[in-house]
């Protein structure tokens, strides 16, 4: 996940099936002051504050990707339905192949989690965007909820084409010597290996409650990690923190490990193991 056409092109050429942009808003946004990201024992803690160039300045990035025929999922964020609708329409006009509605950022005030925790609002925004664009619409939801299945069902009622689960976990790190939170925003989102069991659990629960595809996200570093998500009910996965640790080569590595596992277990098609843990 990135917002620069050059880096997204390198990721696609390294073996990714599609690229997801960083979340884009209506206007340029600087995000929070440093420090915004720190590496912890089992993952990464960040509070970037949704920095982005704004939708009007993002057209050229999409156009550059489309020259190479790279499938692009345009991630967007807003504070209300009409903002999401306008952003989605612009993304579609620029050439995005699908829209991801970021309603789950745990550290951006007025956006993300504050919107994504309200089933009625999730349904309303999803429905409005679906009426605005013809390309698929994915809804990215948060694990920082007690009603994650209810939110997923609200997105489905809004005619979402897929659920993306999960976003980062709300977390904090305190400096013992300074006796203060390390991040400038104090609270951030935790990603990486440590959140995979949470992501798998969320996908499993969502799969029991919706009939639309689920894209699994969170702590996927190996082929076996991806397969665990498939068995929980995901039909595809996204890779994020593994890029930080292993670079773009991680895509081919994960694909090769999935293929080797399938051969060893005599699995002919991924569809054979999707949702297997529910049977």
Residue 110 has pLDDT above 70, yes or no: no
- DSSP class of residue 34 equals S
Per-residue pLDDT tens digits for 240-252: 999 988 899 999 9
Residue 93 has pLDDT above 70, yes or no: yes
Residue 3 has pLDDT above 80, yes or no: no
The residue assigned the tokens 């999960």 is 166
CA–CA dist 175, 29 (Å, integer)? 28
Least confident of 57-66, 190-199, 227-236: 57-66
Per-residue pLDDT tens digits for 200-224: 999 999 999 999 999 999 999 999 9
List C-alpha distances in Å: 219 to 89, 193, 243, 253, 279.
Answer: 31, 4, 11, 15, 24
Instruction: Render 166-202 in DSSP notation, one character per residue.
Output: --PEEE--EETTTTEESSTTS-EEEESGGGHHHHHHH
Per-residue pLDDT tens digits for 117-139: 889 999 999 999 999 999 999 99
Question: Span 21-48, mean pLDDT?
Answer: 94
Question: Span 60-83, mean pLDDT?
Answer: 92
3-state secondary structure of 165: strand
Looking at residue 100, its pLDDT comes to 98
Per-residue pLDDT tens digits for 160-199: 999 999 999 999 999 999 999 999 999 999 999 999 999 9
Taken in order of first residue, the domains within the chain and their CATH numbers are: 5-278 (3.20.20.70)
Contact 99, 45 (CB under 8 A): no
List C-alpha distances in Å: 104 to 12, 31, 199, 246.
Answer: 25, 16, 14, 26
Looking at residue 4, its pLDDT comes to 80
Active-site residue numbers? 105
Contact 21, 240 (CB under 8 A): no
> Is the link from the previous residue into 38 a cis peptide, with omega within 30 of 0?
no
Q: Which residues contact 132 (CB under 8 A, 6 or more apart)?
A: 85, 88, 89
CA–CA dist 150, 39 (Å, integer)? 32
């Amino acid at each position: 996940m990135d917002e620069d056409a050059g880096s997204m092109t390198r990721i696609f050429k390294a073996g990714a099936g599609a690229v997801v942009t960083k979340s884009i808003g209506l206007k340029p946004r600087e995000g929070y002051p440093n420090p915004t990201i720190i590496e912890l024992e089992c993952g990464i803690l960040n509070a970037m504050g949704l920095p982005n160039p704004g939708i009007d300045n993002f057209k050229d990035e999409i156009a550059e990707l489309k020259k190479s025929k790279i499938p692009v999922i345009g991630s967007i964020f807003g504070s209300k339905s009409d903002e999401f609708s306008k952003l989605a329409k612009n993304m579609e006009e620029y050439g995005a192949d699908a829209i991801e509605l970021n309603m789950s950022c745990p550290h951006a005030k007025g956006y993300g989690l504050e919107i994504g925790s309200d089933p009625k609002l999730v349904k309303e925004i999803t429905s409005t965007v679906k009426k605005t664009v013809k390309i698929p619409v994915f809804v990215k939801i948060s694990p920082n909820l007690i009603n994650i299945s209810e939110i997923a069902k609200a997105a489905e009622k809004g005619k979402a084409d897929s659920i993306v689960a999960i976003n980062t976990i709300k977390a904090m790190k305190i400096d013992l010597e300074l006796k203060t939170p390390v991040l400038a925003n104090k609270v951030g989102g935790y990603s990486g290996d440590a959140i995979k069991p949470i992501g798998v659990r969320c996908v499993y629960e969502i799969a029991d409650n919706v009939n639309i595809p689920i894209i699994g996200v969170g702590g996927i570093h190996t082929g076996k990690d991806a397969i665990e998500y498939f068995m929980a009910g995901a039909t595809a996965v996204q890779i994020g923190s593994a890029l930080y640790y292993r670079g773009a080569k991680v895509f081919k590595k994960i694909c090769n490990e999935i293929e080797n596992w399938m051969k060893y277990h005599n699995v002919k098609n991924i569809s054979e193991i999707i949702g297997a843990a529910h049977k």
